[in-house]
Chains A and B, each alone.
Chain A
Amino acid sequence: MAEYKKMANSHPEKATSAQTKTSRVDSLSQVIRNKKEADDFMSEVESAFQRAK
């Protein structure tokens, strides 16, 4: 990790400036319409991650 950062710091060129959220409409954002749906989905995601370990 430290070496990775060091590699970057040795090159001053910078291509971007905006500190924004992703500009494109992410499909997952579109199909999660409210907090309950998000909570249900994240619970499902957590269960799937646990099963996949």
Chain B
Amino acid sequence: MMDILINFENTYEPISIESDFSEMTFHSRQKDGANELILVQIKPLNNPNLPNVHNLGFGPPDGNGRFRDDVRLRHADVPKVFSTVLFHSLNFLNENPKLIVGIDGSDDLRATLYQMMFKTNKKYLDDFFVPLGVDYYVRIFRDGNYEQDEFGNYIAKPRAEQFDYNRSRHDLYRYYLFRLK
């Protein structure tokens, strides 16, 4: 997997930005030469108990005001795409310094990209952000059974820690958080 080197001096120009910085769009050139419109969203979670965590995601607009994260694009310049998204996040946090941005490693590929992005760019990003990693755990009772809900599903609980840069791409966090340094 290629290294994603973040550089806030090399980002795509925004096409639109919401006044509260919750959304922005830009064009990402694809390997076939086409320009793909990318929508970046930083939105409150669907959980009223976590008002200070906003989820970051991006992808092609789905036509309903949201983005698709289930399509595989062939960006000509992947580092520039991630630099653009993170630069927008930096501007969002500058506007909302008390908020925390969260990234859901929704599948292994995305989680690997995010984990390697933080790891590869530690020195660069340390000037801007403080990152955390979040794992999910299930409690084991004294009788050896795992905690379950009434439907028999295991009850996972999150645990946040300082981002461990020694973790490999095969030891991914489930969720990533960062805020302004």
Interface residues of A, Cβ cutoff 8 Å to B? 1, 4-5, 7-9, 11, 13-29, 31-32, 34-35, 37-39, 41-42, 44-45, 48-49, 51-53
Contact = CB atoms under 8 A, between A and B. Distances in A.
A27 B106 contact: yes
Given A24-B106, A42-B50, A52-B162, 17 more contacts: A7-B13, A11-B15, A13-B25, A16-B23, A16-B61, A16-B66, A21-B45, A22-B41, A26-B45, A27-B174, A28-B53, A28-B134, A32-B50, A34-B49, A38-B50, A41-B50, A49-B179
A35 B130 CA distance: 25
Contact of A8 (B16, B41, B61, B160): B16
Contacts of A21: 43-46
A32 B106 contact: no
What size tier do the contact residues of chain B reach? 35 or more
20 contacts: A1-B94, A7-B13, A13-B16, A15-B16, A16-B39, A16-B61, A16-B65, A20-B43, A20-B65, A21-B45, A26-B46, A26-B104, A27-B104, A28-B45, A28-B104, A28-B158, A32-B158, A39-B49, A49-B179, A52-B131
Interface string B163-181: 1000000000011010101
Interface of B: 13-17, 22-25, 37, 39, 41, 43-47, 49-50, 52-53, 55, 57, 61, 64-66, 69, 91, 94-95, 100, 102, 104, 106, 130-132, 134, 136, 156-163, 174-175, 177, 179, 181
Given A4-B17, A20-B66, A41 B158 contact: yes
A46 to B, nearest CB: 9
A15 B15 contact: yes
Given A8-B16, A20-B43, A23-B66, A31 B158 contact: yes
Contact of A35 (B49, B57, B159): B49
A22 B44 contact: yes
